[in-house]
Structure 1
Amino acid sequence: MAYNRKMTLDCNSNPNADCALEAALSIIGGKWKLKIYKALRNGGNVRFSSIHKSLLDISEKTLAAQLRELENDGIVTRTSYPEIPPRVEYTLTELGTQLEPVFESLNNWGKAYVGNRSAIEANEGFE
């Protein structure tokens, strides 16, 4: 069965006991979303070009698609200014700022994991 993001976000049609967790992972999962969150988490409005420059190896098309998903999920707000050249800015919503403890927990767990893996690999060399 193909992945259906819309169904994952709707716990009424997805009676799986892990629906809420699946929904959360659907919103923040993937290669770019937490990196985009990191670029926006310091507050204020951030221009599209600034986000793009802060993320290496992401195409403008992919960044726009990921930002659109985050906007549809209520994590970011997009503001477009009718100027020439066009200016588009993104900011975290209140719901988006509530991700901060999750982001910090994942970051801390990742640091601990990397440290533990390094220690395990170093000890394996002595056997």
Structure 2
Amino acid sequence: MEKPELFGICPYVTAQKVLTGKWSIYIMYLLSDGPVRFNELQRRMPEEMTHTTLSRQLKVLEREGLIVRKEYQQIPPKVEYSLSEIGIKFKEVLSVLEEWGNEYIQYLHTRKDI
């Protein structure tokens, strides 16, 4: 028996597949306050990230419709990334994730087995 494809049907599977990249949620967070240039995004990442890795992740988020890439025709070239209309709606999710993440950090500090 073939298992049903849940992408586009189940909201949890759909969200998980769209946000599969290791840094996708953090990139969305960095863009939540407005447009950011590529090099600034790379500087703000918490770990050393190669140009290629960040570029690949941004292309995936753009393909999924969560971010918008705007290229300015000038010298030197300027490219900004921002949340798309559907990406802006993710800001509410980011807020809830932040709250839960802070509660979980507090929980970790109270555990004796760590």
Under a length normalisation based on structure 2, what TM-score does the superposition of the two structures give? 0.83
Quick one: structure 1 residues 37 and 60, their matched pair in 2 at CA, closer, same or farther if it must change by over 3 Å? same
Helix, strand or coil: the match of 2:75? coil
Distance in 2 separating the partners of 1:49 and 1:41: 17
In structure 1, the residue corresponding to 2:55 is in which secondary structure? helix
2:43 is aligned to: 53
Match of 2:28 in 1: 37
Please list the CA deviations of residues 23-62 of structure 1 after superposition, one character each: whole Å capped at 9, or x if unmatched: 101222332111111211102x211111111113111101
- The residue aligned with 1:88 is 79
Give distance in 2, aligned partners of 1:116 and 1:54.
27
- Deviation string for 1:86-106 (max 9, x for gaps)? 211111111111001111111
Percent identity between the aligned chains?
Answer: 31
Alpha-carbon distance between aligned partners in 2 of 1:19 and 1:42, rounded to the nearest angstrom: 29
RMSD (Å), alpha carbons: 2.1
Return the match for 2:62 from 55, 66, 71.
71
Contact 2:6 2:14 in 1 (8 A): no
Cα deviations across residues 59-102 of structure 1 (Å, max 9, x unaligned)?
Answer: 11011111111111111110112222221111111111100111
Measure the CA separation in 1 of the matches of 2:63 and 2:71.
16
Q: Which residue of 1 aligns with 2:110?
A: 119
- Between the aligned partners of 2:108 and 2:81, the Cα distance in structure 1 is 36
| Higher RCO (CA-CA < 8 Å; seq separation 6+) | 2
Residue type of the alignment partner of 1:89:
E
For residues 90-127 of structure 1, the C-alpha deviation after alignment (integer angstroms, 9 at most, x for no partner) is 11111111001111111111111121121122xx59xx
**In structure 2, what is the Cα distance between the partners aligned to 1:30 and 1:119?**
30
Long gaps (5+) in structure 1: 1-12
Residues paired across the two proteins, number: 109
